[in-house]
Amino acid sequence: MILTQCAVCATELGLSLGKKCGRCSTRYCGPECQVQHWKEGGHDTLCKKIKKAGGAEQYNANEKYAEAVAVAAEACADDTKGQTCYICTQALHWKTKEGLVRGCACRGTAGFAHVSCLAEEAKILFAEAEENNLDGKALESRWARWYECSLCEQRYHGVVYCALSWACWKTYLGRPESNRARIAAMTELGIGLYAAGRFEDALSAQKADMATLRRIGASEHSILDVQTNLANTYGALGRHESALHMKRDVYSGRYTLFGKEHRETLRAANNYAFSLVSIQHSEEARSLLRKTMPVARRVLGENDELTLSLRGVYALMLFTPDDATLDDLREAVSTLADAGRIARRVLGSGHPTAVRIEQSLRQARAILSTREGDVEPLRAAVEAMAPGDA
């Protein structure tokens, strides 16, 4: 994560409290921890190495990046056996000796790559756009190479996303605090850590991100983006009330800023509805989803990841309450079966949205068959009681 704690006692320092090692910028809550780190924490031998790497933040990011690449390559090992990188054409990276990964919707023999090769490409493309002063749209599409596969145009997911987000952060962290690429990289890191299920680390990166944005007076738009990520992380950590409040704010903020048909507004609605469903506020969830789903289907289309995700949340809202009716359960199963089919075809069966829908479908079917089972014997019993012909 981003270094916001004392290196010795882990006291939270935010972006500016405490003091730094004069040589390598390692952060401490005060002189006592610093002295202890030097004498007993091995800092006397590490300090030079950290300074040489470019300071504490850079050193930490480099280390975390190498760990994340190893984790990603390990997780992809079965999938990538016998394949080669589509960028450098080798199985093992010539310099780092890292293995291959694939964490997008590419199938067959497509899309295998080294995290280092993907990162190098993204870095070069973005640098080119900056040097040539390309417009905001071009910058954004180049930046997308940090989080989206250029072949299948789907977002990376899981540990592959996480490794790339460390690559992104270590590339731009040395820039001034208000630099757009540095801020965007910090946001990527938060999302990447979340994608890998490292929620505590994601929370710390996202809090630092938010503090930075507030400090430099960033736009409402950027703040809403980070609030969204923060809300998801609160949700994942089980802090549902915090998540709910934040998601409601983001939804109404986006609605006001962009209108009801904008993708960002629809995404915010999806997030807010999911929170409502998870704490069983079914009525509110129902009215929000009834309003939002038709808009998503019309504006984004049936094959869009967000439309599929909304349908998944709608089904959850139908089948998870204890008092769900048989009609609710049947509608949930048919919604999930249909959305699941589309998700597998469009996103690939390994995509998180496809996986989530598949899991929900299994649960909904299990509940439905139990409930139908309850009803069948009852009906048989009633029929048995029916008076026979006189």
Q: Would you say 2 or 269 has its CB closer to Zn ion? A: 2
Among 1, 2, 3, 24, binds Zn ion (CB under 5 A): 24
CB 257 within 8 A of CB 224: yes
Minimum gap (Å) between residue 119 Cβ and Zn ion: 10
Give 111 or 158: the residue with its C-beta nearer to Zn ion: 111
Contacting Zn ion (CB under 5 A), which of 1, 13, 33, 184?
A: 33
Residue closer to Zn ion, measured from CB, 6 or 230:
6
Residue with smaller CB distance to Zn ion, 28 or 172: 28
Indicate the angle between helix axes 240-258 and 220-236, nearest 10 degrees. 150
Q: Where are the beta strands (DSSP E) in 302-348?
A: none
Separation CA 1–CA 225 (nearest Å): 19
Binding part of the chain for Zn ion, among 19-27, 206-214, 316-324, 335-343 by CB under 5 A, reads 19-27
Q: What is the distance between the alpha carbons of residues 132 and 155, in angstroms, rounded to a whole number?
A: 26
Query: Taking CB under 5 A as the rule, does residue 8 contact Zn ion?
Result: yes
Q: Does 151 bind Zn ion (CB under 5 A)?
A: yes
* Number of DSSP helices (H) and strands (E) in the chain, helices first: 15, 2
Interface map 111-130 toward Zn ion (x if CB under 5 A): x--x--x-------------
According to the binding rule CB under 5 A, does residue 101 interact with Zn ion? no
Q: Which residues of 48-80 are buried (b: 16+ CB within 10 A; e: fewer)?
A: eebbebbbbbbbbbeebbeebbbbbbebbeeeb
Residue 256 gets which letter from DSSP? Answer: H
Residue choice 149, 162, 329, 368 for contact with Zn ion (CB under 5 A):
149
Which lies closer to Zn ion via its Cβ, residue 26 or residue 360? 26
Tell the smallest beta-carbon distance from residue 300 to Zn ion (Å).
Answer: 20
Least distance in Å: CB of 39 to Zn ion? Answer: 13
Q: Is 145 in the site for Zn ion (CB under 5 A)?
A: no
3-9 contacts, C-beta under 8 A, 24 or more apart: 3/27, 3/56, 3/57, 3/60, 4/204, 4/207, 4/208, 5/204, 6/33, 7/33, 7/37, 7/41, 7/43, 7/56, 8/33, 8/34, 8/36, 8/37, 8/41, 9/33
Q: Directed axis angle between helix 158-172 and helix 56-80, to 10°?
A: 150
Tokens representing 187 are: 């946001």
Pick the closest to residue 105 from 73, 148, 146, 71 (CA basis).
148
- Interaction between residue 218 and Zn ion (CB under 5 A): no
Q: Within 66-85, which residues bind Zn ion (CB under 5 A)?
A: 85
49 interacts with Zn ion by CB under 5 A: no
Q: Is 2 in the site for Zn ion (CB under 5 A)?
A: no
Of residues 15, 91, 92, 152, which one binds Zn ion by CB under 5 A? 152
Regarding 106 and contact with Zn ion (CB under 5 A), the answer is: yes
- Kindly tell me which of 117 and 193 has the beta carbon lying closer to Zn ion: 117
Q: By the criterion CB under 5 A, which residues form the site for Zn ion?
A: 6, 8-9, 11, 21, 23-24, 26, 29, 33, 47, 85, 87-88, 104, 106, 111, 114, 117, 149, 151-152
